[in-house]
Chains A and B, each alone.
Chain A
Amino acid sequence: GIQVEQSPPDLILQEGANSTLRCNFSDSVNNLQWFHQNPWGQLINLFYIPSGTKQNGRLSATTVATERYSLLYISSSQTTDSGVYFCAVEDGGTSYGKLTFGQGTILTVHP
């Protein structure tokens, strides 16, 4: 099946710093989503971005489908940005409703 690798596994920042999280995937995809998991376990949708670039406030994301990677940018980080960030993909075959997740990036933002 499709493989998803996220980097870095851990990231520690000071408040106000910028960061880039990367997601590499091994095959063509129909769907790519970025999530933030809060301390209670809920997955919060950040972006639905199988291709192209999107921005939402301090966050933006770019997916280059032909090169099989996606980037999540966080600017002017805040302590509330701390948590685990997941990239998840649905491959281009008949993977109805099946998201394959990366192992996540644990982001810690210090005040």
Chain B
Amino acid sequence: KAGVTQTPRYLIKTRGQQVTLSCSPISGHRSVSWYQQTPGQGLQFLFEYFSETQRNKGNFPGRFSGRQFSNSRSEMNVSTLELGDSALYLCASSDDTEQFFGPGTRLTVL
């Protein structure tokens, strides 16, 4: 089975712009979770989608949003980017047990 894929792998944006990141889960997995990793805060949970429904949400501002499509692919969007949004964004897919992570998207906000 192919693993979790994320696009793009690297992204440079400027403050105030918005960005959309994409995640394709392992075939057959219906759950997709998103995480943000920064040196200061470590790995933090953003949200989780299962069969196109958001089941869980972390403590991030409303600028961070996501969605899931009928084929289980997921996107996350960050609007009005801030310098502090620079991070590695990881998605994980699951069959509701073990989570498997993609390679991440490294976002730099200038």
Q: Which residues of A contact B (CB under 8 A)?
A: 31, 33, 35, 40-43, 45, 48, 86, 88, 94-101, 103-104
A41 touches B97 (CB 8 A): no
A95 touches B90 (CB 8 A): no
Would you list which residues of chain B between 21 and 44 have a CB under 8 Å from chain A?
A: 31-33, 35, 37, 42-44
Which one of B35, B88, B98, B103 lies within 8 Å of A33 (CB-CB)? Answer: B98
B31 touches A97 (CB 8 A): yes
A97 vs chain B, min Cβ distance (A): 3
- Pick the 10 closest A-B CB pairs, nearest first: A97-B48, A96-B55, A101-B43, A48-B98, A43-B101, A97-B33, A96-B56, A98-B45, A41-B104, A42-B103
B98 touches A45 (CB 8 A): yes
**Chain A residues, Cβ within 8 Å of B37:** 41
B42 touches A33 (CB 8 A): no
Which one of B44, B94, B100, B103 lies within 8 Å of A97 (CB-CB)? Answer: B94
**Chain B residues, Cβ within 8 Å of A43:** 90, 92, 101
Q: Which residue of A lies closest to B90 (CB)?
A: A43
**Chain B residues, Cβ within 8 Å of A48:** 97-98
> Chain B interface: which size bin?
20 to 34
25 interchain pairs, CB-CB under 8 A:
A33-B98, A33-B99, A35-B101, A40-B103, A41-B103, A41-B104, A41-B106, A42-B101, A43-B90, A43-B101, A48-B98, A88-B99, A94-B56, A95-B56, A96-B50, A96-B56, A97-B48, A97-B56, A97-B92, A98-B45, A98-B48, A99-B43, A99-B92, A101-B43, A101-B44
Which one of B33, B90, B100 lies within 8 Å of A98 (CB-CB)? Answer: B33
Q: Which residue of A lies closest to B32 (CB)?
A: A97
A99 touches B56 (CB 8 A): no
Measured in the bound complex, the distance between the Cα atoms of B100 and A103 in whole Å is 19
Measured in the bound complex, the distance between the Cα atoms of B50 and A48 in whole Å is 20
**Chain A residues, Cβ within 8 Å of B48:** 96-98
A42 vs chain B, min Cβ distance (A): 5
Measured in the bound complex, the distance between the Cα atoms of B35 and A100 in whole Å is 10
